[in-house]
């Protein structure tokens, strides 16, 4: 699974599918996010193909990338959506996703969010606490509805990934321990407006090996066997997401390799399997394009100061994450120098790459940060009163701006100065 995929060089020029990225930059300006329709849909197809014998529902994790054009592209290829807020529910409906293919996760669902999701007729709530379960029961009763619920199990498995994206250990805020989940099933008659019909497990993100998944899934299957012996009927088994991708030198499992690990566990089971991939589908489907403003040389190091900052792509500052740097125009005769690539934000943590050896840069050069399709724009902000950037989608030889660059007026939309100030 090469991270270049449908981003490639042709005569030294970076292309996305059949479109030269330089041409997009001249039309759109910088910085901007650029997505490949082909990569998005092919990555979805890889999971669909690998697990076709289970006929799973594959719900793309919207928090990775919630652009409407991206969501519509995946929904049209058969994907459902995994949401974590009413805002994402609103976007999911705008993208044309059937409510019967929407699952709702997250530890802090409000009353209004729960009510909106029940009214919309979503497939499942992934429930994270006893209090949340009681809240859904109360609201479903008020609405005279019956809501489907899946209990998120915390299997206490270390996925071997960054602490900030580890979600399946005992000290995590996510999920229920198995004793508590078992107690809920035993007391399910206390929730007459809920159908507690599923179990959910998600142990973290950017997991590159199969073993943590297998360990967690085996724990959950033992739990389910115990429940079924007691007479509880489990219809849905949500196996979450978390498949890793190539950012630097990782060697993540492919969808086929993941399936070889997982399929033997579930071949004889009759559960409706749900997956929630996000990064695996979106990560290497997008790049972030920025322009060099200044080159600053000090006694300590060289700085390439660009027009994109941590407000646009926060992952390096937040996770110390790696994004490969691709010049839009390769210069085979240029010297190679080492730079810290930094943005214009007034924070010492505003960097997109440190100690990176690349071809010599000069003001005006355009560079792309690879593997930026997941948790890129969706985590961006207006910090330092900077308008959020444009998003562009390529399909074949066509490209279109699928989100306009914000204006200064957008920055103050909804604000007012009281007459008494």
Domains and CATH numbers, the chain: 7-35+283-411 (2.40.37.10), 105-277 (3.20.20.10)
Both tokens assigned to 326: 């691709």
The pLDDT of residue 264 is: 86
pLDDT tens across 59-95, in order?
A: 999 999 999 999 999 999 999 999 999 999 999 999 9
The pLDDT of residue 209 is: 63
Which pTM was predicted? 0.92
Q: What is the mean pLDDT of residues 260-280?
A: 88
Q: What is the mean pLDDT of residues 142-159?
A: 86
Rounded distance, CA 373 to CA 315, Å? 12
What is the dihedral sign for C-alpha 65, 71, 75, 80? positive
Rounded distance, CA 303 to CA 102, Å? 45
Position 249 confidence tier, pLDDT thresholds 50, 70, 90: low
The CA radius of gyration of the chain, in Å to the nearest whole number, is 23
The pLDDT of residue 277 is: 92
Please state whether beta strands 325-327 and 194-200 pair in parallel, antiparallel, or not at all (unpaired): unpaired
Position 268 confidence tier, pLDDT thresholds 50, 70, 90: confident
Which one, of 47, 237, 278, lies nearest residue 126 by Cα? 237
Distances (CA, A) of 143 to 76, 124, 130, 140: 31, 16, 20, 5
Cα of 182 vs its chain's centroid, Å: 30
The pLDDT of residue 198 is: 92
- Percentage of the chain surpassing pLDDT 70? 93
Lowest mean pLDDT across 117-126, 225-234, 308-317, 350-359: 225-234
Residue 72's Cβ-side half-sphere holds a number of Cα atoms within 13 Å equal to 8
CB burial of 148-180 (b: ≥16 within 10 Å; e: otherwise) equals bbbbbbbbbbebebeeebbbbbeeeebbbebee
Residue 171's Cβ-side half-sphere holds a number of Cα atoms within 13 Å equal to 5
* Cβ neighbours of 299 (radius 10 Å): 4
377 near 391, Cβ under 8 Å?
Answer: yes
Residue count (the chain): 421
Examine the pLDDT at 248 and tell me if it is beyond 80.
no
Q: What is the mean pLDDT of residues 28-44?
A: 97
Q: What is the mean pLDDT of residues 399-410?
A: 98
Lowest mean pLDDT across 208-217, 320-329, 353-362: 208-217
User: Coil, strand or helix: which one is 116?
Assistant: helix
Distances (CA, A) of 244 to 74, 90, 251, 327, 378: 19, 28, 9, 25, 18
The pLDDT of residue 161 is: 42
Examine the pLDDT at 251 and tell me if it is beyond 80.
no
Q: What is the mean pLDDT of residues 352-360?
A: 97
**Which stretches does DSSP call E strand in 113-180?**
124-127, 147-152
pLDDT tens across 155-214, in order?
A: 776 544 444 434 434 455 667 888 899 999 999 999 999 999 999 997 765 766 667 777
Lowest mean pLDDT across 14-28, 92-106, 261-275: 261-275
Rounded distance, CA 229 to CA 225, Å? 6
The pLDDT of residue 163 is: 45
Q: What is the mean pLDDT of residues 216-236?
A: 89
Rounded distance, CA 13 to CA 119, Å? 50
Catalytic residues: 346
The pLDDT of residue 128 is: 92
Examine the pLDDT at 16 and tell me if it is beyond 80.
yes
Largest interatomic CA distance in the chain: 73
The pLDDT of residue 166 is: 43
**Which stretches does DSSP call E strand in 17-63?**
19-20, 32-36, 57-61
Position 219 confidence tier, pLDDT thresholds 50, 70, 90: confident
Q: What is the DSSP string of 50-95?
A: HTGGG--EEEEETTT---HHHHHHHHTTT-EEEE-SHHHHHHHHHT
The pLDDT of residue 214 is: 79
What is the dihedral sign for C-alpha 148, 154, 155, 159? positive
Distances (CA, A) of 387 to 50, 86, 171, 211, 390: 41, 24, 37, 42, 9
């Amino acid at each position: 699974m090469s991270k270049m995929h449908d981003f490639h060089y042709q005569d030294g020029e970076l292309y996305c599918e059949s479109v030269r990225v330089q041409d997009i930059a001249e039309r759109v300006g910088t910085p901007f996010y650029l997505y490949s329709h082909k990569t998005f849909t092919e990555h979805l197809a890889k999971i669909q193909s690998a697990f076709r014998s289970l006929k799973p529902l594959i719900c793309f994790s919207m928090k990775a990338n919630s652009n409407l054009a991206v969501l519509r592209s995946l929904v049209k290829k058969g994907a459902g959506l995994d949401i974590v807020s009413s805002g994402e529910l609103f976007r999911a409906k705008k993208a044309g996703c059937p409510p019967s293919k929407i699952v709702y996760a997250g530890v802090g669902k409000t009353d209004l969010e729960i009510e909106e999701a029940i009214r919309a007729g979503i497939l499942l709530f992934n429930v994270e606490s006893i209090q949340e379960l009681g809240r859904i029961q109360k609201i479903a009763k008020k609405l005279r509805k019956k809501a489907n619920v899946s209990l998120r199990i915390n299997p206490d498995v270390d996925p071997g990934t960054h602490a900030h994206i580890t979600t399946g250990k005992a000290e995590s805020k996510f999920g229920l321990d198995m004793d508590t989940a078992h107690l809920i099933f035993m007391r399910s008659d206390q929730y007459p407006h809920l159908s507690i019909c599923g179990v959910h497990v998600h142990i973290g993100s950017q997991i590159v090996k199969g073993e943590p998944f297998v360990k967690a899934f085996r724990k959950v299957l033992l739990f389910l066997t115990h429940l079924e012996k007691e007479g509880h009927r489990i219809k849905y088994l949500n196996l979450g997401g978390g498949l890793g991708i190539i950012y630097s030198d990782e060697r993540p499992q492919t969808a086929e390799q993941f399936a070889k690990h997982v399929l033997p566990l579930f071949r004889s089971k009759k559960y409706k399997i749900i997956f929630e991939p996000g990064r695996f589908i979106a990560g290497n489907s997008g790049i972030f394009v920025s322009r060099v403003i200044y080159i600053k040389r000090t006694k300590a190091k060289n700085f390439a100061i660009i027009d994109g900052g941590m407000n646009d792509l926060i992952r390096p500052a937040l996770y110390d994450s790696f994004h490969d740097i691709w010049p839009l125009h390769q210069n085979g005769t240029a010297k190679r120098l080492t730079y810290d690539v930094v943005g214009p934000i007034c924070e010492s943590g505003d960097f997109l790459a440190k100690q990176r050896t690349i071809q010599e840069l000069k003001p005006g050069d355009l560079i792309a940060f690879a593997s930026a399709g997941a948790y890129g724009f969706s985590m961006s902000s207006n910090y330092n009163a900077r308008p959020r950037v444009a998003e562009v989608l390529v399909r074949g030889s066509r490209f279109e701006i699928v989100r306009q660059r914000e204006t200064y007026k957008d920055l103050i939309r909804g604000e007012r100065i009281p007459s008494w100030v």
